[in-house]
Amino acid sequence: MTATTPVSGKVAVLMGGRSAEREVSLMSGQGVLAALRAQGVDAHAFDPAERDLAELQRDGFALCFIALHGRFGEDGTVQGALELLGIPYTGSGVMASSIAIDKTMTKRVWIAEGLPTPIYTLVRRDQWRDLDMSALVAQLGLPMIVKPASEGSSIGVFKVMTPGDLPAALAQAAACDADILCEQFIAGDEVTCPVLGEGDQARALPVIRIVAPQGNYDYQNKYFTNDTQYLVPCGLPVGEEQAIQALVLKAYRVLGCKGWGRVDVMIDAVTRQAYLLEINTSPGMTGHSLVPMSARAAGISYEALCVQLLQGAGLEHAVQGGASA
């Protein structure tokens, strides 16, 4: 069935970029591009790693669908450039994007708002060799999660099982980022919950429970194998799923997110306490991605989701008469 054009004007699907998640972004972007074109949108691929963003204005693009992941795409930098260019874009604005990309800053906001998240220590790249490893283990326990503070797609993430594994994990995380997040490991159910919308109108989609081989939900098992199970309906008690959705909505709102996002959560196997891990403000849209999967469970097709997100594109500071409103 051919839909009437839901969006007027020329649309750039920003994909690729310069982050460590470039390949995933290209997969996301190609999916979004095909979906928008199938719905009659005048959509075009645009890779900021290969073209200057000023070309968006020169070539008459009216809207941008941000399918970039990680640095220079999900961290507020592209959002700021589009604000300056006056071209509306999908997803969160500059401040929410820049906070959410940094897992440590995100945790600080959540903690300040009284939201549950695993305890952590921030380690700087130039300091990890002088770190008191035994004190870190005493604080966080083992297993421990070590990961770059501002990467996604499970890049550079390690589950440290023994004290002897810690130096190598820190070194490899430091190779990815100047800031290393060392975090208490929560044993239990791993779930994720997407959110659509903004403010009081935001709504949580169905929770997905993730069952990965040996509990290892890494880059390979996320994108390039079919061994990970994604359960939606999630199989959790109804009250527990609703509580997670309410928690995720609050986590999304306090950061000022809009458009869409996905919040990752661990549920303690013993206490059933849910702990917020991180939020993605430009989630994946690949064949293995979780937002489209959850949306389908809510009756929203991939194509309809893409159009809905594009229809929500906007600017934080609309330009009127050449001056910021």
Residue of 120, 223, 252, 275 with catalytic role: 223
User: From CA 279, how far away is CA 217, in angstroms rounded?
Assistant: 16
Residue of 25, 97, 153, 221 with catalytic role: 153
* CA-based nearest residue to 210, from 257, 164, 154, 171: 154
Q: What is the largest CA-CA distance in the chain?
A: 63
φ, ψ at 226 (rounded to 5°) = -110, 25
Residue of 91, 262, 289, 303 with catalytic role: 262
To the query of whether residue 71 is one of the catalytic residues in this protein, the response is no
To the query of whether residue 153 is one of the catalytic residues in this protein, the response is yes
To the query of whether residue 316 is one of the catalytic residues in this protein, the response is no
To the query of whether residue 226 is one of the catalytic residues in this protein, the response is no
Residue of 70, 73, 261, 284 with catalytic role: 284
Question: Within 10 Å of residue 267's Cβ, how many Cβ atoms?
Answer: 21
Residue of 97, 98, 150, 280 with catalytic role: 280
Find the angle CA(27)-CA(249)-CA(76) to the nearest 5 degrees: 50
Strand (E) positions, the chain? 10-14, 42-46, 61-66, 120-124, 144-148, 158-160, 179-184, 188-196, 203-204, 208-211, 229-231, 260-268, 274-280, 319-320, 323-324
Strand (E) positions, 4-60? 10-14, 42-46
To the query of whether residue 217 is one of the catalytic residues in this protein, the response is no
User: From CA 46, how far away is CA 173, in angstroms rounded?
Assistant: 30
Residue of 177, 179, 278, 316 with catalytic role: 278
**Structure tokens given for 8:** 């007027």
Host H or E run for residue 95: helix 94-100
User: From CA 53, how far away is CA 247, in angstroms rounded?
Assistant: 37
**Do residues 204 and 232 lie in contact, with contact meaning Cβ atoms separated by under 8 Å?**
no
Q: Are strands 10-14 and 42-46 parallel, antiparallel or unpaired?
A: parallel
φ, ψ at 201 (rounded to 5°) = -85, -5
User: From CA 53, how far away is CA 323, in angstroms rounded?
Assistant: 21
To the query of whether residue 132 is one of the catalytic residues in this protein, the response is no
Host H or E run for residue 273: none
Please count the CA atoms within 13 angstroms of the CA of 73 that sit on its side-chain side.
32
To the query of whether residue 280 is one of the catalytic residues in this protein, the response is yes
To the query of whether residue 124 is one of the catalytic residues in this protein, the response is no
**Do residues 92 and 100 lie in contact, with contact meaning Cβ atoms separated by under 8 Å?**
yes
User: Which residues are identified as catalytic?
Assistant: 21, 153, 223, 262, 264, 278, 280, 284
